Amino acid sequence: MIGVSSRALKNKSLSEALEQLGSVTSCVEIYSEGLHDLSKNKEIPQSFDFRYSVHAPVTDINIGSIREPIRKASIDFIKYMADICNCIGSDVLVVHPGYYSYRHDLPDANTSLLRSLNELEDIFYDTGVRVCIENMPDDWDCYLFRSPEMDLGENGFVLDIGHANTTDTIQDFLMKDISHFHLHDNNGRRDEHSWIGSGNIDFEKIKDLLNNNNSMKILEHPCMDFVDRSMERLKQMNIK
Q: What is the mean pLDDT of the chain?
A: 97
The 10s digit of each residue's pLDDT in 227-239 is 999 999 999 999 9
For residue 139, pLDDT over 90 is answered with no
pLDDT above 90: residue 9: yes
- Please enumerate in sequence order all residues whose Cβ is within 8 A of that of 234, keeping only pairs 6 or more positions apart, or say none: 2, 183, 196, 203, 240
Q: Report all structural domains of the chain as residue ranges with CATH numbers, in order of start.
A: 2-237 (3.20.20.150)
Residue 140 pLDDT level (bands cut at 50, 70, 90) = confident
pLDDT digits (tens, 9 = 90+) for 177-207: 999 999 999 999 999 999 999 999 999 999 9
Q: How far apart are CA 6 and CA 17, in angstroms?
A: 7
